[in-house]
Chain A
Amino acid sequence: MKHIRWAGLVLALTGIVASACGGTTTPAPAGGGTTAPAAGGPTVTKDLIIGFSASQTGAQNVASKKQTEGIQLWVDDVNKAGGIKLKDGTVLKPQIKFYDDESKTDRVQQLYTKLINDDKVDFLLSPYSSGLVKAAAVVSEQNGKVMITAGGADDATMEQGFKYIYQVYTPASKYLTGAIDLIGKLDPSIKKIAIVNEKDSFSTSVVQAAQPYATGKGFQVVLSEGYDTGTKDFAPFINKIIAAAPDAIVGGGHFDDGTTFAKQLYEKKVNARVIALLVAPPEPTFADIGDAAQYIIGPSQWETQVKYSAEAAKSANLPYYGLTAKDFTDRYTTKYSAPPSYHSAGGYAAGQVLQKALEDAGSTDPEKVRAALDKMDLMLFYGHVKFSTDAKTHGKQIAHDMVYVQWQKDSYTNRLATQIVWPPEAKSADAQLRK
């Protein structure tokens, strides 16, 4: 009888292992497979393998999904248009390869190592969220692979002298500075600010820049504290904030805690006149918290109402590249039955940046692509994109700006929607004070 149990155990284990082996993903052809030239010319078609990790599970799931969708839309659009055409006639067909990083840094490092060594990717994109981007950047740089990052705004990552990493997002240090300017303009009587943030690299970076900026502008920072990632119950903390009696509250973290925090601020009837939170407000699903979402301001890398266009580019003396903001929004909404968020735009823009760099370089050689990226200075539907070439901050995004949205109730339909309220040249509505 014992033998049967043994046999069963061995069979079970074998079964698990066998199904695992048998069920591996069909490997994408290693970069460089060639097909016969198309009729009528020396056109060579090559696969361009682009790798990254996505947080299909874990805390960063919501935003990461949007980013992946943006990337996927870009790949589809490029392939529909026939591929990336280089000057020498080669046509590159992008294919993406990604795995679930479970929102964990060591998973990211393992997966990027695998993408580089096993899947032999040509270029890399990044995961979503600064912490994971940091982890991926280290591996990418160690192996000399060019990586275009979306979803990572943390300044420190881009101040390490990396040579192969290029940042598409506006750096974290600029996330709340605009909000502070907005507060000053909206209600000059506001003097006391509470700065509260999630204790992770991104949010900490943001407030490290925001705090001196605020004091520099004459605000009094009455409270500045960080809460643990994953905090659900903000009640005692909010009591502390109430006791400090701020006129404005800025900070937050990522989607989940930002949304929970906003909801509980409303439930506790906190009467700050301005509340600005990171990451969560620009997400369409932020409105799920109902009335608690009203008046909340959030910095956004991009919104559907932005005015980046060929005309705007011309007046700024920049070349314009790629589709319009409206086209992007329409195509995305059609494909995914939901409007894009800035995470989606970031993903798409990262793809576009890579595409333009390849076109400018005329080859897939990393050094030539790097040179093209270093020279890049153009406008996309996503905004103005230019990378720092200074040794210390090489690859950091130096041209892109944040816009600030606020959830406002439409006076006719009484429904909540976001309006761009800052900067003045981009706004679609005036900012409102909380009542």
Chain B
Amino acid sequence: MSRFREHGFLLSLLGVIVAAAATPLLLGNPSLREELFLVLMLATLASSLNIIMGYTGYVSFGHIVFFGLGGYFAFYLMQTYQWNFVAAALAAALPSCVIALLIGMPILRLRGAYFALATIGINEATRSFVNNFDPFGGAVGMFFNFSVYDAYGGARNAAQLAYVGMLAVALAAIVTSYAIKRSKFGLALLAIREDQDVAMVVGVRPARAKVTAYVISAFFPSLAGAIFFFKNGIIEPGPAFDLLRSIEALVMVMLGGIGTLAGPVIGAALYEELRGLLITNETLSSLHLFVAGVVLLVVVLFVTAGIIGTVRQRFPPLRRYVQ
């Protein structure tokens, strides 16, 4: 019983997500499933971003680069060597994380705005590079011969399997985020966020902790990218390394509550629902970017702690239950 109380919030959160995710499968509603697929993917991105940004305080603007890298490596394995998507996704996470390690070590030495700019530079450099890199299809990108989906029992089945896969990745990301938050490692990250120099004095090894956090935060987007592009059947440099999507993930984290557990998930769900509503609405569709900007500004100016953060601030008794 006490175990439940201790991890109550996490289990409830996971339960809600699984229940929501199961709905389209039970109802046989492919459209809803597609929407939730996107929400789960964004929740993964946002939760991972939260690890480096919320816990460690390093604003990674170009975080989408790992999403794209995971997508490309996995796609390559699936297309050239006919690997199945689960194996390809896991295998692709490896070079992705190695790259995160190699990049992380130098750029995490930078502070604040310089770090943010560096992450943008890395994303753009990678995108331009892939744009010229013929084994990955260059500007044309890669796409599946349809028979690839036969191994999964057809394209429709493959889409469902991808959905379950994305759900698994999202759950894993959230559980990891929780585990970090409750661990000594997480405490070290928070210390670095607050004041890196003092943290050093207290015995934290900032360089090592930061890089570890960065690598972990690259792992899940990489898996998400692999599954996303597997389902799409096409991968191109522009959509794979989309800087706007990267910044939208940032907005989701802020909207939901930076540094919280449920925040990124709620932020992702809300933002995507809002965007979905706007895009398919004739009058407002052309305004969706404008509305997104207004929402962001309002959040940044008035609701800095995001939804979850504000709830925790306003209702102290709930703090134990809502993270």
Contact = CB atoms under 8 A, between A and B. Distances in A.
Contacts of A110: 34, 38
Interface in B25-79: 29-31, 34, 38
Task: Select the residue from B138, B233, B282, B303 with max chain A CB neighbours within 10 A.
Answer: B233
B159 interface: yes
Nearest to A26: B282
A104 B38 CA distance: 16
A105 interface: yes
Interface string B149-190: 100000110010000000000000000000000000000000
A117 B24 CA distance: 13
Contacts of A141: 146, 155
Task: Select the residue from B132, B139, B232, B303 with max chain A CB neighbours within 10 A.
Answer: B139
Contacts of B34: 110, 113-114, 117
Nearest to B244: A104
A199 B141 CA distance: 11
A160 B143 contact: yes
Interface in B107-165: 128, 131-132, 138-141, 143-147, 149, 155-156, 159
A142 B156 contact: yes
A301 to B, nearest CB: 21
Given A106-B239, A114-B280, A138-B143, A228 B131 contact: yes
A57 B283 CA distance: 14
Given A141-B146, A199-B138, A114 B31 contact: yes
A204 B147 CA distance: 25
Contacts, number: 104
Contacts of A19: 283-284
Contacts of B139: 199-201, 204, 226, 228-229
B279 interface: yes
Contacts of B155: 141-143
A429 interface: no
Interface string A95-139: 000011000111101100110011000000000000100110010
Task: Select the residue from A104, A107, A118, A142 with max chain B CB neighbours within 10 A.
Answer: A142
B233 A105 contact: no
A152 B138 CA distance: 19
A140 B45 CA distance: 28
B188 to A, nearest CB: 35
A275 to B, nearest CB: 23
A17 interface: yes
B250 to A, nearest CB: 18
A156 interface: yes
Contacts of B298: 9, 12
B90 interface: no
Given A24-B281, A25-B281, A204 B239 contact: no
Interface residues of B, number: 43
A231 to B, nearest CB: 12
Nearest to B291: A16
B280 A99 contact: yes
B207 interface: no
A420 to B, nearest CB: 31
Contacts of A161: 145-147
B236 A20 contact: no
A41 interface: no
Contacts of A201: 139-141
Nearest to B233: A138
A416 B279 CA distance: 41
B103 interface: no
A5 B232 contact: no
A76 to B, nearest CB: 20
Interface string B234-250: 10101100000000000
A143 B31 CA distance: 12
Contacts of A36: none
A23 interface: yes
B286 A143 contact: no
B315 interface: no
A162 interface: yes
Given A20-B277, A138-B232, A142-B159, A162 B284 contact: no
B285 A100 contact: yes
A9 B281 CA distance: 22
A118 B31 contact: yes
Nearest to B303: A9
B302 interface: yes
Interface in A3-25: 5, 9, 12-13, 16-17, 19-21, 23-25
Contacts of A23: 281-284
B303 A156 contact: no
A389 B181 CA distance: 59
Given A160-B146, A200-B139, A104 B239 contact: yes
A20 B281 contact: yes
Nearest to A157: B143
A12 B298 CA distance: 10
Contact of B282 (A25, A57, A118): A25
A57 B284 CA distance: 14
Contacts of A199: 131-132, 138-139
Contacts of B159: 142
Nearest to A197: B139
Contact of B140 (A16, A57, A204): A204
Interface in B243-261: none
Nearest to B276: A110
B274 interface: yes
B278 interface: yes
Contacts of A20: 277-278, 281, 284
A81 B138 CA distance: 48
Contacts of A142: 149, 155-156, 159, 233
A5 B302 contact: yes
A162 B279 contact: no
Contacts of B236: 105, 131
B280 A24 contact: yes
B131 to A, nearest CB: 7
23 contacts: A5-B302, A9-B303, A12-B298, A13-B295, A16-B274, A17-B277, A20-B278, A20-B281, A21-B277, A25-B281, A25-B282, A57-B286, A99-B285, A105-B238, A105-B239, A107-B279, A113-B31, A117-B34, A134-B143, A138-B144, A142-B233, A162-B146, A228-B131
Given A20-B277, A138-B144, A142-B233, 13 more contacts: A16-B274, A23-B281, A24-B281, A25-B280, A100-B279, A105-B239, A107-B279, A142-B155, A142-B156, A161-B146, A199-B138, A204-B140, A228-B131
7 A-B pairs closest in CB distance = A199-B139, A142-B155, A117-B31, A138-B233, A201-B140, A20-B277, A23-B283
Interface of A: 5, 9, 12-13, 16-17, 19-21, 23-25, 57, 99-100, 104-107, 109-110, 113-114, 117-118, 131, 134-135, 138, 141-143, 156, 160-162, 199-201, 204-205, 226, 228-229
